[in-house]
Amino acid sequence: MKIPVPDVLLPADQLGRVHFIGIGGAALSGIAKIMAQRGLHVTGSDDNDTPFLPALRALGVTCHLGYAAEHVGDADTVVVTTAAREDNPEVLEATRRGLRMLPRSAGLASVMAAKQVLAVAGTHGKTTTTSLLTMALLEAGADPTYAIGAVLVQTGSNAHDGAGHLFVAEADESDGAFLVYRPRAGIVTNVEADHLDVWGTEEAYRAAFVEFVDTLDTDGFLVCCVDDEGAASLADLARDKGREVIGVGESAAADLRAVDLVFEGSNSRFTVVQGDETLGTVELQIPGRHYVLDALAALALGLRLGFAFDALATGLAGFTGSRRRMERKGEVAGVRVYDSYAHHPVEIAGDLQAARAVAGKGRLIVCYQPHLVSRTRIFGTAMGEALGVADEVVVLDVYVAREDPDPDVTGRLVADAVPLPAESVRFIPDRVDAAAVLVEIARPGDMVLTLGAGDVTEVGPQVLELLAPREGNGSA
């Protein structure tokens, strides 16, 4: 449901006792964690016992499973996930009592108060870029507060209340949240149509990014990846408005360029050039050209803030990934299993390009789960076409979130568009059945990659478990 952003955004310490409806999600759990670390009284509820909840419980946060009116307790403020339904009993109770109700964007803005906000936006790559920027700044000694849409592997957390004056935030455009934060600096990785169930048209979606630029502080600056047509156009518009813009990319138009790119398995290396000056080399423990561009954007922002290249580069080199972003789940019987969050055609293409390098001489076997009925209806054919880079493809049914199912929009729409021989493409609606089929297909040396923003992430561990007997009997 859509909760309006209040005209006056109060800092977190003025919200009183705060209850979160949907506290187990990546975004709300991060806000709740920062509030709890600051000593606020925090409670919450969720349908599922998600991986984010143990860290909150360790801070003394009561996390209810299931929704009930009494869970609201004596809260003064309620922060509500966009996935909540209007008939949610806790929403109804908060409404009945006239409590202050905030969308997640306003909840995040409340913990940003008095901090210098660095907002990372874009259709793709937000989580990875936010994570890279956080790691770079930590190595440079900044100790930022951060809120990321996934767990940062090095810290084991998606959020932390740092002692420094900087606040690094993943700025999500899906529901317009990124228009609330008033950042000092912004990164835009790319701009390509998505979330049309919310924005309606591609024009409206792109216009929201123009509005995002307008939310920057008057003395702020913008970092854009000018290799992307949408971000390059946004950079031009920002410059026309008198904004300071730093263009990054491989193209000659970039102010900070990546040259001499080298990809070796799961590692990447590139040289950074600014004008006629070579600043140095950056090495990454993550594969793929799109991750190089994400790292370059994070580097550009850090340099503009005055941090040293060597410290930033060391932080980038130490980044081993965010959960669900080309995350290695394990290897059994010679079969490597990775998991990634890609759910848009461009993201799929980028991850499969990186996966090809990791797979080496082995086959690339992909298990993909479409996310959202509306997205599948619009981009289903393009999703299937992007999956054609793999050797074998298994497509699950659509993961339904925030919307009602549509019998005419299923994973079959994606599977039918995959440009591979029929015997190499399988539509298997159930993920448990899919895990068994993946094990039948996989051979030693192969790479299995699970893709999607839903519960397809559970398939990888199931595959590894099913492969275990094969390793035990020496068939690897």
Distance between CA 218 and CA 287 in Å, rounded? 36
Burial group, residue 7, by CB count within 10 angstroms (0-12, 13-18, 19+): exposed
Pick from 18, 15, 24: nearest CA to 74: 18
Pick from 188, 460, 245, 178: nearest CA to 332: 460
Assess whether 126 carries a catalytic annotation: yes
Where do the CATH 3.40.1190.10 domains begin and end in the chain?
115-317
Q: Which CATH architecture has domain 12-103?
A: 3-Layer(aba) Sandwich (3.40)
Position 325 pLDDT exceeds 80:
no
Position 373 pLDDT exceeds 90:
no
Residue whose entry in the numeric block shows the structure tokens 């880079």: 389
Residue whose entry in the numeric block shows the structure tokens 């908060």: 94
What's the angle, vertex CA 450, arms to CA 445 and CA 453, rounded to 5?
Answer: 165
Assess whether 381 carries a catalytic annotation: no
Distance between CA 286 and CA 325 in Å, rounded? 9
State the average pLDDT over residues 275-279. Answer: 95
- What are 161's two structure tokens? 């209340």
Report pLDDT for 341: 79
Report pLDDT for 154: 77
Question: What is the Rg, in whole angstroms, of the alpha carbon atoms belonging to the chain?
Answer: 22
Assess whether 201 carries a catalytic annotation: no
| CATH fold of 115-317 | UDP-N-acetylmuramoyl-L-alanine:D-glutamate ligase (3.40.1190)
Pick from 8, 9, 6, 48: nearest CA to 28: 48
Catalytic position from the list 90, 93, 139, 170? 170
Where do the CATH 3.40.50.720 domains begin and end in the chain?
12-103
Catalytic position from the list 43, 127, 129, 130? 127
Average pLDDT along the chain: 91
Pick from 334, 439, 444, 454: nearest CA to 400: 454
Distance between CA 212 and CA 49 in Å, rounded? 34
Report pLDDT for 124: 82
Where do the CATH 3.90.190.20 domains begin and end in the chain?
327-472
Q: How many residues does the chain have?
A: 476
Q: How confident is the model at residue 346 (pLDDT cuts 50, 70, 90)?
A: confident
Q: How confident is the model at residue 302 (pLDDT cuts 50, 70, 90)?
A: very high
Q: Residue 392's beta-bridge partner residues?
A: 365
Q: What is the 3-state secondary structure (H, E, C) of the chain?
A: CCCCCCCCCCCHHHCCCEEEECCCCHHHHHHHHHHHHCCCCEEEEECCCCCCHHHHHHCCCEEEECCCHHHHCCCCEEEECCCCCCCCHHHHHHHHCCCEEEEHHHHHHHHHCCCEEEEEECCCCHHHHHHHHHHHHHHCCCCCEEEEEEEECCCCEEEECCCCCEEEEECCCCCCHHHCCCCCEEEECCCCCCCHHHHCCHHHHHHHHHHHHHCCCCCCEEEEECCCHHHHHHHHHHHHCCCEEEEEECCCCCCEEEEEEEEECCEEEEEEEECCEEEEEEEECCCCHHHHHHHHHHHHHHHHCCCCHHHHHHHHHCCCCECCCCEEEEEECCEEEEEECCCCHHHHHHHHHHHHHHHCCCCEEEEECCECHHHHHHHHHHHHHHHCCCCEEEECCCECCCCCCCCCCCHHHHHCCCCCCHHHEEECCCHHHHHHHHHHHCCCCCEEEEECCCHHHHHHHHHHHHHHHHHHCCCC
Catalytic position from the list 82, 126, 139, 192? 126
Report pLDDT for 476: 43
Look at 65 and 342; give whichever has higher pLDDT.
Answer: 65
Q: What are phi and psi of 5, to 5 degrees?
A: -75, 130
259-276 burial: b if 16+ Cβ within 10 Å, else e: eeeebeebebebebbeee
Q: How confident is the model at residue 474 (pLDDT cuts 50, 70, 90)?
A: low
- What are 230's two structure tokens? 């949408």
pTM equals 0.77
Position 193 pLDDT exceeds 70:
no
Pick from 382, 383, 370: nearest CA to 409: 370
205-219, 298-312, 375-389, 459-473: which is most confident: 298-312
Q: How confident is the model at residue 317 (pLDDT cuts 50, 70, 90)?
A: very high
- Digit-coded pLDDT (tens) for 110-158: 999 989 999 999 988 888 899 999 999 999 999 999 999 888 877 888 9
Domain 327-472, classified CATH 3.90.190.20, yes or no = yes
Report pLDDT for 265: 73
Look at 77 and 474; give whichever has higher pLDDT.
Answer: 77
Contact residues for 347 (Cβ-Cβ < 8 A; gap 6+): 124, 341
Beta strand 335-340 with 327-332: parallel, antiparallel or unpaired? antiparallel
Q: How far is CA 26 from CA 33, 36, 324, 396, 412, in A?
A: 11, 16, 12, 23, 29
- In this prediction, what percent of the chain has a pLDDT beyond 90? 68
